[in-house]
Amino acid sequence: MSVQRKIIHVDMDAFFASVEQRDQPEYRGKPLIVGGKANSRGVVAACSYEARQFGIHSAMPSSQAYRLCPQAIVVSPRFEAYREVSNQIRTIFWKYASEVEPLSLDEAYLDVTYTAEYDGSATLIAKAIKKDILNETQLIASAGVSYNKFLAKIASDMDKPDGLYVIKPEQGEDFVAALSIGKFHGIGPATETKMKKLGIKTGHDLRQWTLQQLTEKFGKTGNYYFNIARAIDHRPVRSKRTRKSLGKETTFANDIKSKSELLDILEKLAEQVIDNINKQNLKARTLTLKVKYSDFKQVTRAQTSDKVLDLALINTLLPMLLDKTEAGKTPVRLLGVSLSGFENATPDTTKKQLNLNLNE
């Protein structure tokens, strides 16, 4: 008989903004935005709960956020400060968990299946972690407790801020059945819209579809949907995450329509990306171009090579990929270049890329 797993997902509440409010008392209780300045073309990296009351959310254009709340305080991100706090938090995680899988600076999965503290109670362990985080960093976190990663992550978002939500094994299937499709981790807005057009609005609706039907409609991801509709997720908590891609992107102060100008920018981005992967002793075979138009519509175009990508090959492929977009006809506000399909990954590739567009 297999051991029932005990998984905790910890998510810091409004992390970047909370660090700023902790360090700057004058920001407390006020709408605060961390990200691009109001008169820039950047985006909101994070915002305080006071700012969220005005409809502001992360990834929103800074100009739009300012229109929603002109009185908001806008500060540039201090990533070194956030990393320092993140390291403090991860040290706390390792006090209790046999495996810790960071997803970003402010969230992680913890496997406490074999943790002896608190008589092995995952709920009490989660409470202790939240208390330690508050005592050591003066910040609050929300935690979700369940028997797999899918449910633990959803649970952590159920009672924010400062939440602790538990989904027991006997509750899993009923919980998922009643859950709105939009709440499912792994189902984004586009897939949610597609599912709703097919009459899939809840986990119960999704469960009525056979594996064959789901794979026909959604490809290989259909297998994932089939399982999570039944509260099944066998993914282990992995302490070492291998970087899947590495890239660089830039948002322009003004939209660019000239294809030659865009190609010049792509060459510079490619140089930076190649320099980065060389420093990390990585070899890549897949090149991806990201283009965001002036209307915020975004497309990606990718090419996989049978040869390891170098700068010369990348600069040969980029114009071909750009030709497969509307660039040159439709104004472009953002370009990005990324590489994936790595070989010979080294341990330092586990650091997650902070690739936010926060142009000031």
Catalytic residues: 107
Give the neighbor-by-neighbor strand order of the sheet with 7-12: 99-104, 107-111, 7-12, 141-146, 164-166
Instruction: Give yes or no for a contact between 5 and 30, defined as CB atoms under 8 angstroms apart.
Output: no
Closest CA to 32 of 235, 23, 351, 340: 23
Q: How, if at all, do strands 44-47 and 32-35 pair?
A: antiparallel
Residue 84 to residue 19: CA distance in whole angstroms: 11
Task: Tokens for 317, please give them.
Answer: 């492929």
User: Which whole-number Å values give the CA distances from 176 to 110, 139, 218, 357, in the listed order?
Assistant: 21, 30, 20, 35
Q: Pull the structure tokens for residue 177.
A: 């059945």
Report d(CA 258, CA 321) in Å as an integer: 16
List CB contacts of 77: < 8 A, sequence separation 6 or more: 16, 34, 35, 45, 46, 356, 358
Amino acid at 58: S
The most distant pair of C-alpha atoms in the chain lies apart, rounded to whole Å, by: 65
Cβ(144)–Cβ(168) under 8 Å? no
DSSP class of residue 330 equals B
7 and 109 Cβ atoms separated by less than 8 Å: yes
Q: State the first-to-last Cα distance of the chain, in angstroms, to the nearest integer.
A: 57
Long-range CB pairs of 264-272, under 8 A, 24+ apart, other chains included: 265/335, 266/318, 266/322, 266/335, 266/337, 267/315, 267/318, 269/335, 269/336, 269/337, 270/311, 270/314, 270/315, 270/318, 270/337, 271/311, 272/248
What one-letter code names the amino acid at 345? A
H or E element in which residue 203 lies: helix 203-207
